[in-house]
Amino acid sequence: MNKKGKYVYEWPRPMVTADAVVFTHSGEKTKVLLIKRGSEPFKGQWAVPGGFVNMDEEIEDAVVRELEEETGQRPGRLEKLGWIWTTPGFSDEKIHLFTAFDLEPVPRRTQIDEYIEVVRMDLREALELIWRGELNDAKSAIALLHAARRLERPR
């Protein structure tokens, strides 16, 4: 929030988000970029980068913008994993899931109310965070599981 206690968005948040599993390579190993949130109420929580789609924005443009803002990386290639409802019967939020490859560094532009640590780790380690109960963000867990399967079974 800003000093006046209001969020910095220009309009109400739509109920559409776009998130991505960002892949990097270090030698033979496949790595992913995760974010660790530094702001309440989710301080210390792991997630894949992403966020809300603005009302005047295409979904692919939103995920690129969010990756630049949160990680300082611009993907050269995106692949759609699919989409999910967060909690049908309770919310109509629709989350579009992607993988991102071929990164190019760009200036990081986090929102004024965002405090995020970017962490690069092995894909296996990221999956272990799920199994140990340390990554509890449902859309991030689903995205990582879909992305891991995609790597096992290339199209």
Joined together, the tokens standing for residue 99 give: 């993988």
Q: Give which of 95, 81, 72, 84 is closest to 24, Cα–Cα.
A: 72
72-82 exposure pattern, b = at least 16 Cβ within 10 A, e = fewer: bbebeebbebe
Q: Is-catalytic flag, 114?
A: yes
Cα gap 110→53, rounded to integer Å? 15
Question: Helix or strand or coil: residue 50?
Answer: strand
Q: Which one of the listed residues 66, 68, 114, 152 is annotated catalytic?
A: 114
Joined together, the tokens standing for residue 17 give: 């988000």
Tell me which residues are annotated as active site.
Answer: 114
